[in-house]
């Protein structure tokens, strides 16, 4: 079976979500570290300009967004499942956590005390470069004030603590689900803020739950260079089967753009080769990566026909 390759960097919260899901599945994978800020020339060769982290690669197929990555891991290793039948609302809670909870955790954590801890030891120019990179990246997000984020995060943590009060080990019961990993990476991010992580202290059940999720670990990673990942794509010789389903407003082979609807909205252009209610796939060619299929979830992304020149 083709190797799983995760393009990520250690401090990325969504990458931590992916790493924990790989650990939950007990999977072996190749680890390619990418820069936290642009430019990312080797990754761009694979994705066509998608800005978010992480990205999962399997041969010449490239999967964007952790919601879709979770589905890929599910096909790779169906058990234990991220989507237990007993928790039909887990994917919806995960979607909420990846958006609303995450954008509560970010402004709370990045208040001055948290910011100083997160960037401790880095030279001022590195901090400035990160801020300059993220300003246009998140320009479409109207961030909460620290005061608002503090109130909201405390209420959200209290709700999760109450959810766990009956003794269940995970958010939806005896088994972990996609929801646990989506919530966990947000709380993990808050912990990176050092002194501001004290907001979690009153919630003993949340703290114990997070330890259980983190105990899944990160699976079995082995380092890989970005050059090796590009070679794996260009030499793959095939792609996962895809089809454009009828009745969804698009035709196979159309030139399209795909972009997130909230932040990091740089579009990826390509030829439409796959479309369902859950996924969109575009084909694009790069001189180093070869012909790749870039996969996106439908939820949280917009598909548009490319305008004629």
Per-residue pLDDT of 31-46, as tens digits, reads: 999 999 999 999 999 9
Give the strands of the sheet with 301-305, arranged side by side: 220-223, 28-33, 5-8, 55-58, 61-64, 290-297, 279-286, 268-275, 255-260, 301-305
Q: 90-214 has which fold?
A: Glutathione S-transferase Yfyf (Class Pi); Chain A, domain 2 (1.20.1050)
Say which residue the tokens 């390619």 belong to: 32
Q: Are 120 and 193 in contact (CB under 8 A)?
A: no
- How much is the pLDDT for 89? 98
Once rounded to an integer, what is the mean pLDDT over residues 86-94?
A: 98
**Per-residue tokens: 141:** 């997000």
Give the β-pairing of 5-8 and 28-33.
parallel
**Per-residue tokens: 204:** 């003993």
Once rounded to an integer, what is the mean pLDDT over residues 159-175?
A: 98
Is 3.40.30.10 the CATH classification of the domain at 5-80+221-305? no
- How much is the pLDDT for 9? 97
At residue 117 the predicted structure's pLDDT band, cuts being 50, 70 and 90, is very high
- Strands (E) in the chain, as ranges, are 5-8, 28-33, 55-58, 61-64, 220-223, 255-260, 268-275, 279-286, 290-297, 301-305
Q: Sign (positive/negative) of CA torsion 52, 78, 291, 233?
A: positive
**Per-residue tokens: 2:** 């083709």
User: Which letter does DSSP use for residue 111 in this model?
Assistant: S
Q: Can the peptide bond before residue 232 be classed as cis, meaning omega within 30 degrees of 0? A: no
Q: Show Cβ contacts of residue 20 under 8 Å, excluding neighbours closer than 6 positions.
A: 181, 184, 185, 213, 214, 216, 217, 218
At residue 91 the predicted structure's pLDDT band, cuts being 50, 70 and 90, is very high
Model confidence at 74: pLDDT above 60: yes
Please give the mean pLDDT across all residues of the chain. Answer: 96
| pLDDT tens, position by position, 231-257 | 999 999 899 999 999 999 999 999 999
Once rounded to an integer, what is the mean pLDDT over residues 204-229?
A: 98
Once rounded to an integer, what is the mean pLDDT over residues 219-223?
A: 98
Model confidence at 225: pLDDT above 70: yes
d(CA 153, CA 98): 14
- How much is the pLDDT for 145? 97
φ, ψ of residue 169 in degrees (nearest 5)? -80, -25
Q: Sign (positive/negative) of CA torsion 244, 51, 22, 97?
A: negative
6: β partners: 31, 56
Domain locations in the chain as residue ranges: 5-80+221-305, 90-214
- How much is the pLDDT for 66? 98
**Could you give the maximum distance between any two Cα atoms of the chain, in Å?**
60
At residue 11 the predicted structure's pLDDT band, cuts being 50, 70 and 90, is very high
- How much is the pLDDT for 125? 85
- How much is the pLDDT for 127? 85
């Amino acid at each position: 079976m083709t190797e799983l390759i995760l393009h990520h960097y250690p401090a990325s919260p969504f990458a931590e979500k992916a790493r924990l899901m790989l650990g939950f599945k007990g999977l072996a994978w190749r680890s390619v570290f990418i820069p936290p800020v642009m430019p990312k020339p080797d990754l761009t060769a694979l994705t066509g300009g998608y800005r978010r982290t992480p990205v999962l690669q399997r041969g010449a197929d490239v999967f964007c967004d952790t919601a879709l990555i979770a589905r890929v891991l599910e096909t790779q290793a169906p058990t234990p499942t991220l989507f237990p039948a007993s928790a039909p609302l887990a994917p919806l809670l995960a979607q909420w956590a990846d958006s609303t909870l995450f954008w509560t955790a970010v402004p709370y954590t990045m208040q001055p005390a948290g910011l100083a801890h997160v960037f401790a030891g880095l030279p001022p120019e590195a901090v400035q470069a990160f801020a300059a990179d993220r300003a246009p990246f998140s320009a479409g997000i109207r961030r909460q004030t620290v005061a608002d984020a503090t109130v909201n995060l405390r209420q959200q943590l209290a709700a999760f603590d109450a959810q766990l009060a009956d003794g269940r080990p995970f958010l939806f019961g005896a088994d972990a689900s996609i929801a646990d990993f989506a919530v966990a990476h947000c709380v993990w991010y808050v912990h990176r803020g050092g002194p501001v992580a004290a907001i979690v202290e009153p919630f003993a059940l949340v703290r114990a739950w997070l330890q259980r999720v983190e105990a899944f670990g990160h699976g079995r990673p082995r380092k890989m260079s970005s050059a090796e990942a590009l070679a794996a794509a260009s030499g793959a010789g095939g792609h996962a089967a895809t089809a454009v389903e009828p009745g969804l407003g698009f035709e196979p082979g159309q030139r399209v753009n795909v972009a997130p609807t909230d932040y990091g909205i740089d579009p990826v252009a390509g030829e439409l080769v796959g479309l369902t209610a859950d996924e969109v796939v575009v084909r694009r060619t790069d001189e180093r990566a070869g012909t790749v299929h870039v996969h996106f979830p439908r939820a949280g992304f917009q598909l548009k026909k490319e305008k004629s020149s």
